[in-house]
Amino acid sequence: MKVKKTAKTTIKKKNKKGSTKSEEPEVKVLNLNVNPENPRNGFFELDWNSEFVNMLKQSGYQGESEEEIVDRWFQTLCQTIGNEQGLDVNASGHVKMTRRDDGKTEVS
């Protein structure tokens, strides 16, 4: 599951004087998109501010873009939740089975 940065920023930046500036890291879940044909697949649409990305960088997350940094954090978060629920997140995944024209099935 991947994260996707929304094109529209919803995080409003304000300081005490009402101008637009924030020093607090923020991230919001805007939408959860699920593939109706395969509910195991989908993505979260997130919005975040630069302070959130800076916080992740200071915590050791790296990437070539903000999206990559946030995606790595989100993957870690999902693995942590899975581990707390007793799931083996290292062995989890799905099996793709494709029926071939010759009657055999490919498994990947």
- pTM exceeds 0.75: no
Q: Does residue 101 register a pLDDT over 90?
A: no
* Residue pLDDT, tens place only, 39-90: 888 888 889 999 999 999 999 999 999 989 998 998 888 888 888 888 776 6
Q: How many domains does the chain have?
A: 1
Give one DSSP letter per residue of 44-103, joined into a string: EEEEE-HHHHHHHHHTT---SSHHHHHHHHHHHHHHHHHHHTT--TTT-----EEE-TTS
Gyration radius of the chain's alpha carbons: 19
* Residue pLDDT, tens place only, 52-62: 999 999 999 99
DSSP tag of 42: E
In which domain, by residue range, is 75 found?
2-107
**In angstroms, rounded to a whole number, what is the distance separating the alpha carbons of residues 78 and 23?**
26
